[in-house]
Structure 1
Amino acid sequence: MSGLLTGKRLLVTGVITDSSIAFHTARVAQEHGAQVILTGFGRMSLVNRIAQRLPEPAPVMELDVTDQDQLATLATRIREHADELDGVVHSIAFAPESCWGDFLAAPWPDVSTSLHVCAYSLNSLARAVLPLLTPSASIVGLDFDARVAWPDYDWMGVAKAALESVNRYLARELGPAESASTWSRQVH
């Protein structure tokens, strides 16, 4: 295959079904020539089956972005498939049921989980892959329009607004860096 992404190596996180944005991102990236590595969480047998539906079956690894051990080994596990990354797609979101539908009633532990998975994880993921990023690499986070308070979206909307803010701060911190080794020095 050849195209816009020929020779590029991408990590696409958050694949769970073939109707997910992450799956379609991986599919289109492959159609444009990229080598894709996928992550999923939880139902890994399902994620592995979904990966076989891509134009080229992609390697899959488990990634719980709240698990420090999994984040600490992520670069090593990715290196089994690619020496470097040209891009990372953060397509991860979760909020416990209590965070949907009754904004005032959601308990802090559930809100905290939502913020950790949806927003803080972009920072965690960026730090985990920094040693692998090429100088021109990009990290993309998928969000939702957080300019308004959507009915029933509640704490997920807050988490997505936080994700947008994390993105701005990562751009400020990592944007001026000239290389992955500079990023590693800045973050560690």
Structure 2
Amino acid sequence: MRVGILYSRIRRDEKLLLSELRERDHEVVKVDVRKQRFNIADPPEDLMEVDILVDRCLATSRSLYATQFADAYDIPVVNDHATAEVCANKVKNSLALEKAGVPTPNTDVAFTKDAALESIEGFGYPCVLKPVIGSWGRLMAKIDSRSAAEAILEHKETLGHYEHKVF
């Protein structure tokens, strides 16, 4: 079987995965998403040759787009686009975990600064505010007071992208 690996950096886990695939006599095609170009109609040549892709991208945005292209090209993907989309979005992720009965921290979602402030006040201080989209703990905020909450919510509201306005 020809197994494609979508990656942006080969770390220890990817080295182990590549080694195991080769030991099992699979042909491996490494696809560096930092260099790969995707056409909306025609799959890249190296992707046309694989039976399955494994997504190991570090960057969430690259993973989401690369797996969406693979889906459009009808290439099966381990860690597929639908899975990556749920994992990348904290609201979708929290809803999926709750639906599956996985214990999760108490979570509120609000669409306005005032509603978010009400939720924060309801939780009490300190509390944590996370962006809906993001990884590696970026833009998380521990909020210790009402004035800190107001400042952080104002910053999020001003950042521009609509995802920052989901609290």
TM bucket by the smaller chain? 0.3 to 0.5
- Give the number of the structure whose alpha-carbon radius of gyration is greater: 2
Structure 1 length-normalised TM: 0.38
